[in-house]
Structure 1
């Protein structure tokens, strides 16, 4: 290719500091053009142009990424990712990308996504999302995948400074419901009202309150999971994209055998008799403990929350407690009323993956924490007084 023809393609441009640099644009195919800039001399730009044009003519351009869109790399990554997580996690991850990542990068070619584009996306996440770091980390996985496949030589995400705290996150933390649990009096009032309201709902909330189960672990329970005073927990009801609800293993893929108190056992046995009278079955042992009578299948995850909200309103509860709040109540009341119970014991009962999760969740102030602290201070004072008396004598 004659040098004169090449030189016409090279264009000068001026930086803000007054320095001149050179750039060129070259057509990759019928619909795509790419631009290279930042060259210090015409000759340097010409050499880059010739080398790139040769790669395009030799159909070797895609070896170094070419025009591969972010969305395509994401889809390729998703195929591998699907084999490493549960279906529910896969669904949540897809939703995260669809709502927060793909709108910023999806239709862009990976080589055209620079630091400025990434910074704008990060700024939007920081402004609007509490869990902006999670979104950033997931988006970064796609850039790392592009780097691994040699589509890009530098990851623009590596040049971003992700803030540790934001006003938005601090506001959400401030507004967090730290009283998302019942006092023992409030829980008793709730259960008494539920008993008069509907016995199945009473049995449901009694079991929830006295086991600390997650609602997704409660709904797939069958009668054969209950043996004497032990309840086997090894399933969870989750929502999977458009497939609806599905049963999968529990959150940490473990089987928990929970001891159940005699009063709760009696209530469940009474409900078992009522259920058999209402819906006779020769295979009740293999039947759901809490079952939608119309479909003979699981209630949806939203139904128990509606039950709870009605009862909360009926008893005029003066603070909001969610379904998960029963779990917090269970842990809080156990720790408040049993001095010998350890965080390790509670971790085992609640099925937390690690001990730190249990400590972080339940190391908060409850209505009894000041009373316990006062008792401890009195003991210290008594010991101190006894020591002083001994010295005087």
Structure 2
């Protein structure tokens, strides 16, 4: 731009004012390691300012200030990371995230955002969401949700994305106080561990009632109780998943797809397990297979669901077994709540209670846990006989000690 001679003094005056403004705005600050960096704050409009930091020198900060001011004056700032709402960044992030996870995980994540995260943040500009807002939101999650850390981590992904795109210069989530354990989570976990399973007497009573009530339901719950499988793993099983070695091949799971019903996909962690079945359960399955053949003589059983919905010739939905269980729980007058997952919990607890040679590693393999710590955390405090086992073990040590003293 060519400056006319008569305008030169005014230009110099404006430049001096700008330099003074910049010099007042740029501030030094110290990092934890003692190094100095520079930052500045600049006004975007009457309601908003933005801060840039991390510059190694005053000159570098001055250049950044001038370039940013030029964008703001040219009304070009919004195109380069100006005021963007949390919802907009979430939607952009979601497009990439969809390509990295299974479809069921994708819709589960959307649910977490829709119910727990977006109601707090969606209409807010990302730059207006400060530490106070984030901490207050986290406090609500802590007080209301058992899995508050999972919700926090998902929300934090959006702030990290905003940081990556230079919409913000600091992530407010990095400054929060996150409790490691809460009374709410602790009590919920204890409630789950200590009540969400059947005693061996309750399970026997349940299965006996199911046997006289409906043979199909009896077979389903027998398999659930004596394998520790998840309902998502049982419902998609076909007869050809039971091999000649009397082992079930577990390689798929039934999952709910948002707004589109159900889908059979690979199991959690893409694992394939060969699950050994006890002789009595195998005999019951054989009786059930013969019963199905009589009811559907023209069907190809090898490709037939073990628990086939006779109306649709397909699998049952995930809700159906829960309704079956609830009716039987009520019929036997069960005095505490046991979910379908409680059968899996019962399976592990009873195996540990009644088999001294069984290790947590054996149970991990049986239940298909990804790591051993999950098995230990779930079952360490859940068995009814652990205290009596400990007393017997201590007595055994005492007996050995006394025998050793006598010999000496």
Same fold per superposition (TM over 0.5): yes
**Counterpart mapping for 1:243-322 below 5 A:** 243-322=260-339
Shift in Å, 1:60: 4.2
| Equivalent residue pairs, number | 366
Please list every run of 5 or more consecutive structure 1 residues that lacks an aligned counterpart in the other structure.
Answer: 11-22, 39-46
| Corresponding residue for residue 69 of structure 1 | 85
Where does residue 226 of structure 1 map in the other structure? 242
Moved more, 134-143 or 333-342: 333-342
Instruction: Using structure 2 for the length normalisation, give the TM-score.
Output: 0.82
Decide whether the 8 Å contact of 1:64 with 1:152 is kept in 2. Answer: no
Q: Which residue of 1 aligns with 2:363?
A: 346
Matching residue of 2:402:
385
**Are 2:180 and 1:201 aligned?**
no
8 Å CA contact 1:73–1:142 kept in 2: the answer is yes
| Shift of residue 73, structure 1, vs aligned partner | 1.1
Q: 1:252·1:351 contact (CA, 8 Å) conserved in 2? A: no
C-alpha displacement of 1:384: 2.3
Q: Please tell me the root mean square deviation across aligned C-alpha atoms, in Å.
A: 2.8
Q: What's the offset of the Cα at 1:53?
A: 4.7
Equivalent position of 1:162 in the other structure:
178
Separation in 2, partners of 1:274, 1:62 = 68
Call closer, same or farther: CA 1:193–1:248 in 2, change over 3 Å. Answer: same
* 1:241 match: secondary structure: coil
1:62-211 aligned within 5 A: 62=78, 64-211=80-227
1:328 aligns with 2:350: no
1:19 aligned residue: none
Contact 1:24/1:37, CA 8 A, preserved across alignment? yes
Taking structure 1 as reference, are residues 70 and 367 closer, same or farther at Cα in structure 2, changes over 3 Å only? closer
Post-superposition offset of 1:282: 3.3
Distance 1:179 1:314 in 2: 19
Q: Please state how far the C-alpha of 1:92 moved relative to its aligned partner.
A: 1.2
Contact 1:143/1:155 (CA < 8 Å) preserved in 2? yes
Encode CA deviations 1:268-300: one digit per residue, 9 max, x unaligned: 111111112222333111010001111111111
Distance 1:314 1:25, change over 3 A: same
Report the Cα offset of residue 74 of structure 1: 0.8
Change (3 A) 1:281 1:57: farther
Give structure 2 stretches of 5+ with no counterpart: 1-10, 22-40, 53-62
